[in-house]
Structure 1
Amino acid sequence: MSSSTTPPSALDPTSPLSGTFAASDYVVFAAMLIFSASIGVFYAFRGVHKSHDDYVLAGRSLVCGPVALSLTASFMSAVTVLGTPAEIYRFGTSFGLFAISYAIMVMVSAEIFLPVYYRLGITSAYEYLELRYNRYMRLVGTLMFMTLTVLYTGIVIYSPSLALNQVTGFQLWGSVVATGIVCTFYCTLGGLKAVVWTDVFQFVLMIIGFLVVIIRTAIIKGGLSVVIDDARRGGRLRTWDFNPNPLQRHTFWTLVIGGTFTWLSIYGVNQSQVQRYLACRSLLHGKLSLYLNLVGLWITLSCAVMCGLSIYSVYKDCDPWTAKYVSAPDQLMPYLVLDILGDFPGVPGLFVAGTYSGTLSTVSSSINALAAVTVEDLVKPYFQFSESSLSWISMGMNLLFGAICLSMAAVASLVGALLQAALSIFGIVGGPLLGVFSMGILLPFGNAKGAFSGLVCGFLLVLWVGIGSHKYPPPPRRTLPLPLSTEGCKKLNLTEVEHITTTLPAPRPAVQEYWYSLSYLYFSMLGSVATFIVGVVISLATGGLNQEVDPKLLFGKEDFFANFVFWKAKWKELFSKGRHIATHSYILNAMLQRL
């Protein structure tokens, strides 16, 4: 790398990068791991494992601020740090429309799901399925969550490590093992409190990593306006596409409607997220944590979008992916970091620390949630233990699931693109679960037979299309990738590129052309809607109208109007205090005038 202000490859990218991580980068990365582990040690000495409730739910004493950042950090993993900028680089800023689906998802989670969970005082989200349906539905929900979480965690651990290894020379299995061990260590020692506060630290690191890339690119290019102008001329600012075709990968409708269902299957019914806002000290703090988390999601998404535009601005004349400088789009972000920041000792390490912070926060959340549901849903209903014993069992489960998730990282090498693979898994498993919870909360006549039938039908349907779309990926006319230039590249096999771009695709059977080309963002909606409809029909056919359901298990009008009543009372209280102060001020002024 040159020591000039602008790196050579940013202006004349004639060859792949030859630099690798320096010792200072490893020092920064190690410091992040040590600090994260020390938080677990701190809370272990604070005695969080004295009772099961303290260990799993932090004694239900958390406030909204740290919980909000924890929700954001565990949601915005390394999948976001590496996958979203690559998405923007290849397909444009339409991905930013997820900001709308985030808002809808947060409102539904805060106003419909949270009040029901909170008044029941549950620890596991799937405990609701037993209270609403029966024990078997709770068991099915728990096992589906555990399967989803283990698979997703494998992707989160392995994929970033592979991308960073192939670009920077960062040790692949060394980073995988270190991530797994550190996560397991502080989860086991510190319980939920350690997980939440490490998430806060890791969220800050993720944002710093993003900002360093954005600021450095702006300096190189002469300002953010130049970056935006490059994106505009390259067609990357194409955002609003109202094509209603569900086969097109990203449109306004797939991103907003499909995205809402996808994220709701995470925030509304996934234990990893539900456990956090149920640990808040009050319902108000739980709701505020979700709304503050929305701000965090918007900030993170905005940074990721700008990083994607930064990649395009730097490499608009020589695409590293087409030029074979990187082997996958997920490697573009670390490639850019090493290119434009490699001359600054420790700064590439800071970015990697931020990337792995996303991994740590997601993996720790997953391990903690897996341990919680195992104890709550598979141990407590069948065995009698003291609170102290349950906390030790939870610690043992943290160790077990840490080892399982680490071993599952190898399976992640079989999946494709990082971002789409992760969201597809959530859609396949989370969508049907969302349908079962929604029917139970919204419809008093939904029964166990309907819930189970709907869950099976919804899961099989979305599993069919999910596996088919992975085996037979949609053609480019469905995904609409934007053009990438290699005009500024030398040492490039142009014959191979021309062959790839000019070969016509073979005709596809109808099931591949239409059914398997369904946008991956509709997987969750398909599973949810199918589960809901089948569940309603079967419930009505099996006497659902004749059953009585405890009103506490349903979303009622009092939940809808609760916010209005609360803020109306607060307003009256403030108005009353204001009048009281004004009256006293008037009397005091009158007395002073007489004197």
Structure 2
Amino acid sequence: MVGTGGPVASFSVWDYVVFVGIVVGAAMIGLIAAIRGRKESTSEEFLLGGRQMTAVPVAMSLTASFMSGITVIGTPAEAYRYGAAFWIFGISYAIMSIITAEIFVPLFYRLGITSTYEYLEMRFNKTIRMIGTTMYIIQTILYTGMVIYAPALALNQITGLDLWGVLVATGVVCIIYCTLGGLKAVIWTDVLQMIIMLIGFIAVIARGAVLQGGLGKIWKDAGDGGRLDAFDFDLDPLKRQFWTIVVGGSIMWLSIYSINQSQVQRYISCKTMMHAKMSLYVNLVGLWVTVSLAVFSGLTVYSIYKTCDPFTNGDVSTPDQLLPYFVMDTLAIYPGVPGLFVAAAYSGTLSTVSSSINALVAVTGEDYIRPFCKNLTQKQLSWINMGLSVFFGFVCIGMAGVASLMGSILQASLSVFGMISGPLLGLYLLGLFFRTANSKGSLAGLIFGLIITLWVGIGSQIYPPSEEKTKPLPLYTTTCNSTLSQNFTTIAPSWTSAQPEYRPALADTWYSLSYLYFSPVGTVCTVIVGLLVSVITGGCKQEKLSSDLFVTKNDLFCFKGCHNSQASEFIEKADEKIHVGIDNTEFTDDQFAISDKDVEKVTQF
């Protein structure tokens, strides 16, 4: 009987058929789209789709890139245990999207970059660029390892899918279409994978509504269980509350969307700045829809198991297995439907891994190889890019084992971004807004910010918050069939990591800081120290810097008309090569049929 605990069904033949069919179909769509759209084999075509992408597919790819298998499995588990507070991230997404679209997009378009970290060399020096690139590579490999491992483990223990078979298959599928198709393959595959993820959530909610007699019953159960008490305005930075999610979440997601190569590479692949900005606003709608469905899926699972928690009863070994358990418990009677859900989780993994591989190839090629091998032909660059895709695919598979040591996958994945992206965001803010900031000060600020975030982040892993601070909302087993000793997924349940015998004084304060504040702490520390050291080391006496490297008032909330002056500046630079008429910054492709970067940028306004 549903909702009373016990072993659940395993995958059927039809589940395997649906699962494999969807994964293969997604990969084929990506490859076909890439092959049909490739006119020439160039590095820019491989890494940026020839800068000819449009807003909607890019927006869906942006959403899919970080709405990974971790989101499909981890967010519902978060809502099941702690309630609907995760919904408040919708505010964070809005703040992040506006700032990214109106500040960072104009800057990156103006500079015509491929790697985000090219800006650091333009603004500071090559050393800072290389440090920034290295930090990004480390962060992305760690995160991608978690993205591959965590959903595979959850699905293995519930559905019986072979763990390492899933891990290797993930890497191999991504390697194939990333290597052959480049960014176009990644984006068009993400579109289908995004649709599949949403269908998976809808299937869970629909089945729960049928079992409970409507969505109203699910909502009422969630309210009775305290899952809808999301607006806690307590200022305690150690708690899950409104300000933690809005302030900490906004800065954390800003550090992902504004400077993370995986995301930036997508919107700078758009054919115009208008499309790039629109992709971020359409992506915002996608994020709202995805997080809403993910949270409501968690509330649906709670409604079914409110008096028989599968984790406490020993039916699952980790909270991250709750949604897969629900699917196999309630949807196995419909052949192929569990396969659809697993494909949804797997599609999230594929989209994130492929995005990571493509971005790693871009920064490695642009920041490590091209500056030192300037005479490479386009054919040689294409082969290098494909070789790097294979290399990073296998590196990410190898790193998947690290994820098994990191507790809750949702918290661990966001912690990695906070620890590394926070200081990097601070570095970019120094460059964008403060002419006083120099290379010495910025490097000092980056190092200090990184030390602080690693200190609190690693400390929180060694000395996890006390059980009182991480305890979920009430869960019961009053109607369960006792299966603690018979279910193959069972291990001794514990809501928290094992606590070390010795706990320093900082364990219940500094090390218990919410993981969402890792990024703001790193950002603020980097900016403050960077400015202080810059002033001390002569930042106020720097030589004049190009205005293109800074945010200007014309960048803010402008799409087309307010860029006349910038378009004119680019025309002046190209005057020796081509003469054109300017009328409200409207230009034709024929007028700019040359390869010079400055002239090409005119078409972006």
TM-score (norm 2): 0.89
How far apart are the structure 2 equivalents of 1:230 and 1:567? 53
Identical aligned pairs, as a percentage? Answer: 53
Counterpart of 2:53 in structure 1: which amino acid?
Answer: L
Mapped pair 1:131 → 2:122: yes
Mapped pair 1:213 → 2:190: no
How far apart are the structure 2 equivalents of 1:491 and 1:562? 62
How far apart are the structure 1 equivalents of 2:494 and 2:549? 60
Mapped pair 1:311 → 2:301: yes
How far apart are the structure 1 equivalents of 2:209 and 2:404? 35
Mapped pair 1:553 → 2:566: no
Note closer, same or farther for the CA distance 1:194–1:49 as it changes in structure 2 (3 Å cut).
farther
Mapped pair 1:193 → 2:170: no
Deviation, 1:477, is 3.0
Q: Which moved more, 1:383-392 or 1:526-535?
A: 383-392
Counterpart of 1:537 in structure 2: which amino acid?
Answer: L
How far apart are the structure 2 equivalents of 1:498 and 1:441? 48
Whichever structure has more helix as a proportion of its residues is 1
Mapped pair 1:467 → 2:467: no
Instruction: Tell me which of 374, 384, 388 is aligned to 1:393.
Output: 384
Deviation, 1:561, is 5.5
Counterpart of 1:513 in structure 2: which amino acid?
Answer: D
How far apart are the structure 1 equivalents of 2:6 and 2:555? 61
Deviation, 1:49, is 5.8
Note closer, same or farther for the CA distance 1:281–1:14 as it changes in structure 2 (3 Å cut).
closer
Partner in structure 2 of residue 533 of structure 1 = 528
How far apart are the structure 1 equivalents of 2:259 and 2:5? 49
How far apart are the structure 2 equivalents of 1:486 and 1:33? 37
Counterpart of 2:320 in structure 1: which amino acid?
Answer: D
CA deviation string 1:420-472 (max 9, x = no partner): 00000000111110000111011111111111101110001110110111111
Q: Which moved more, 1:303-312 or 1:35-44?
A: 35-44
TM-score (norm 1): 0.90
CA deviation string 1:44-88 (max 9, x = no partner): 365366111111101111010100000000110011100000000
CA RMSD across the alignment: 2.2
Instruction: Tell me which of 475, 478, 499 is aligned to 1:487.
Output: 478
How far apart are the structure 2 equivalents of 1:215 and 1:128? 47
Return 5+ residue gaps in structure 2 as ranges. Answer: 486-490, 565-582, 584-605
How far apart are the structure 2 equivalents of 1:467 and 1:382? 35
Specify the SS of the correspondent of 2:556. helix
Specify the SS of the correspondent of 2:270. coil
Give yes or no for contact 2:314–2:492 (8 Å, CA) kept in 1: no
Specify the SS of the correspondent of 1:368. helix
Give yes or no for contact 2:106–2:555 (8 Å, CA) kept in 1: yes
Note closer, same or farther for the CA distance 1:161–1:558 as it changes in structure 2 (3 Å cut).
same
Partner in structure 1 of residue 538 of structure 2 = 543
Deviation, 1:33, is 2.2
Specify the SS of the correspondent of 2:113. coil
Partner in structure 2 of residue 581 of structure 1 = none
Mapped pair 1:35 → 2:25: yes
Deviation, 1:214, is 0.4
What is the count of residue pairs matched by the alignment? Answer: 556
Note closer, same or farther for the CA distance 1:241–1:505 as it changes in structure 2 (3 Å cut).
farther
CA deviation string 1:550-579 (max 9, x = no partner): 1000001121263495599xxxx9xxxxxx
Mapped pair 1:267 → 2:261: no
How far apart are the structure 2 equivalents of 1:491 and 1:275? 51
Deviation, 1:480, is 4.7
Partner in structure 2 of residue 67 of structure 1 = 58
How far apart are the structure 2 equivalents of 1:356 and 1:497? 27
CA deviation string 1:349-405 (max 9, x = no partner): 000001110000000000000001111001111102112221221111111111111
How far apart are the structure 1 equivalents of 2:539 and 2:217? 62
Partner in structure 2 of residue 584 of structure 1 = none
How far apart are the structure 2 equivalents of 1:530 and 1:148? 19
Instruction: Tell me which of 335, 339, 342 is aligned to 2:332.
Output: 342
Give yes or no for contact 1:58–1:192 (8 Å, CA) kept in 2: yes
Q: How does 1:7-406 map to 2 (within 5 A)?
A: 8-10=1-3, 13-17=4-8, 19-42=9-32, 43-44=34-35, 46-47=37-38, 50-248=41-239, 250-383=240-373, 384-406=375-397
Give yes or no for contact 2:128–2:439 (8 Å, CA) kept in 1: yes
Give yes or no for contact 2:22–2:343 (8 Å, CA) kept in 1: yes
Specify the SS of the correspondent of 2:558. helix
Counterpart of 1:26 in structure 2: which amino acid?
Answer: Y
Deviation, 1:497, is 9.6
Partner in structure 2 of residue 580 of structure 1 = none
How far apart are the structure 2 equivalents of 1:498 and 1:110? 44
Note closer, same or farther for the CA distance 1:514–1:135 as it changes in structure 2 (3 Å cut).
same
Partner in structure 2 of residue 518 of structure 1 = 513
Give yes or no for contact 2:311–2:493 (8 Å, CA) kept in 1: no
How far apart are the structure 2 equivalents of 1:540 and 1:562? 33
Give yes or no for contact 1:230–1:313 (8 Å, CA) kept in 2: yes
How far apart are the structure 1 equivalents of 2:369 and 2:127? 14
Deviation, 1:14, is 4.5
How far apart are the structure 2 equivalents of 1:56 and 1:312? 43
Partner in structure 2 of residue 577 of structure 1 = none
Give yes or no for contact 1:36–1:186 (8 Å, CA) kept in 2: no
Please tell me whether Structure 1 or Structure 2 has the larger radius of gyration of its CA atoms.
Answer: 1
Give yes or no for contact 2:274–2:559 (8 Å, CA) kept in 1: no
Specify the SS of the correspondent of 2:2. helix
Give yes or no for contact 1:371–1:397 (8 Å, CA) kept in 2: yes
How far apart are the structure 1 equivalents of 2:357 and 2:538? 40
How far apart are the structure 2 equivalents of 1:352 and 1:498? 24
Specify the SS of the correspondent of 1:116. helix
Give yes or no for contact 1:55–1:192 (8 Å, CA) kept in 2: yes
How far apart are the structure 2 equivalents of 1:565 and 1:46? 31
How far apart are the structure 2 equivalents of 1:294 and 1:175? 31
Give yes or no for contact 2:63–2:286 (8 Å, CA) kept in 1: yes
Return 5+ residue gaps in structure 1 as ranges. Answer: 1-7, 574-595
